[in-house]
A and B are shown apart, each in its own frame.
Chain A
């Protein structure tokens, strides 16, 4: 079983709907949690970066972390066709010698239909 699990999708929603994405993980040492967006044939682009449990909001994006359940979520409000991409969750435990080595979920493909 992988350390970080993520439903591969595809998740298809109509324009304007809320997109709900999530990841579960098994390593309780993970402290930092990130969401990346990746368009086809491009590198991942950081969307949200959170530390420990709680919520963080940035524009149309809200990230939630529940360390007790080992569960993180990303919500995208008022989704647009341009949000169609693969969304990757990533996390790290910041062991000093290892820098900020990221462990990724497999990614969820999202399609926002006009």
Chain B
């Protein structure tokens, strides 16, 4: 079946603009995770969804970052007033349940000029 998909694959934006990143998890996967991968920090957890709820938002770096999930499926990560330090690859992963293996999407490469 289809894997995790993310869009766009690349996004270039100007400092101060808002961006939305989309994740389509594997069908039937109830758990969804967002991570960020940057050269200096490696791969870091951002937020975890179980269904449409987010029990753990501890990795979101500032209140400019928010995420939602609707219908227990698609998730959107929104970054407001982007800064250059937000430049990174944003990865989404899903799993069948909260404690099952995670399957990653290809990521969205965000560049803030």
Contact = CB atoms under 8 A, between A and B. Distances in A.
Interface of A: 2, 34, 36, 41-46, 49, 88, 90, 94, 96-107
Given A97-B55, A99-B99, A44 B104 contact: yes
A42 B106 contact: yes
A31 B49 CA distance: 21
Interface in B23-68: 31, 33, 35, 42-45, 48, 50, 55-56, 58-59
Contacts of B31: 99-100
A88 B44 CA distance: 12
7 contacts: A41-B106, A44-B43, A46-B101, A88-B43, A101-B48, A101-B59, A105-B42
Interface of B: 4, 31, 33, 35, 42-45, 48, 50, 55-56, 58-59, 91, 93, 95, 98-107, 109
A28 B93 CA distance: 25
Contacts, number: 64
Contacts of A103: 45
A43 B91 contact: yes
Contact of A101 (B42, B45, B103, B106): B45
B91 A44 contact: yes
B56 A46 contact: no
Nearest to A107: B42
A102 B91 CA distance: 13
A101 B105 CA distance: 16
Contacts of B42: 2, 104-107
